[in-house]
Amino acid sequence: MFSVSYNLYLELERCQTRGHHILQRKIQLATIDNHPFDLRVMVQREINSSLWQVTGKIAGVAAKEFCITNAIKEVLSVEKAIEASILAKVLQQDIAVKIDRLALLTAVYLEEYYRKFYSMAIDRGIDNGGEVWIIEVNLDPNISLLSRLEDGSMYERMKDKKI
């Protein structure tokens, strides 16, 4: 009998003939009531400017029985998500500052390769130890999730600035 890992390897080999794929390492995301959550940090810049700004941040909580956050049960502010998770007890530093700084550094780096883009959504995961991970970067972000927050100011700011 083959191991699960070997069967996965064979399936990936079979799929590889159809194109390129990226296999992401599993991140033990921090949870809220046993539901993993991740963060989406929106950054934008004006046309003809290289100054990036964080213009929105949300936390997406995975739906029941999902280990990924593609199916979102709830949208929270980043601050509320951190308070509701184990991270509030684990973190010694201001994680919000670290998240913003890493998002801006990511945008500056990617701008070298994608000069015509003025908005990015940087999906981040935080593990139970408080480490921040990049999950993916969207160069044409959908801002509609921001409208699900109680405070609609972030959504309005992003919508007004949408280029």
- Residue 1 confidence class, pLDDT cut points 50, 70, 90: very low
Is 15 inside a domain boundary?
no
Distance from C-alpha of 17 to C-alpha of 110, rounded to nearest angstrom: 29
Task: Kindly report the CATH number assigned to the domain that includes residue 120.
Answer: 3.30.470.20
Is 116 inside a domain boundary?
yes
**DSSP alpha helix (H) spans, the chain:** 4-16, 78-84, 87-90, 95-111, 153-161
Is residue 136 within 8 Å of 63, Cβ to Cβ? no
Question: Beta partners for 126?
Answer: 132
- In tens, the pLDDT along 64-97 reads 877 777 778 888 988 899 889 878 777 656 788 8
- In tens, the pLDDT along 109-152 reads 999 999 999 999 999 999 888 888 999 999 988 766 666 677 76
Greater pLDDT, 30 or 156: 30
Contacts of 131 (CB under 8 A, 6+ apart): none
Q: How many domains is the chain built from? A: 1
Is 66 inside a domain boundary?
yes
The residue range of the domain holding 87 is: 25-161
Question: Apex CA 141: angle with CA 107 and CA 134, to 5°?
Answer: 50
Is 9 inside a domain boundary?
no
What values do phi and psi take at 153, rounded to 5?
-65, -35
- In tens, the pLDDT along 10-67 reads 877 777 666 676 777 788 899 999 999 999 999 999 888 989 999 889 899 998 877 7
Is residue 123 within 8 Å of 136, Cβ to Cβ? yes
- Residue 3 confidence class, pLDDT cut points 50, 70, 90: confident
pTM of the model: 0.79
Is 130 inside a domain boundary?
yes
Is 50 inside a domain boundary?
yes
Predicted pLDDT of residue 18: 66
Is 8 inside a domain boundary?
no
Greater pLDDT, 28 or 5: 28
Is 99 inside a domain boundary?
yes
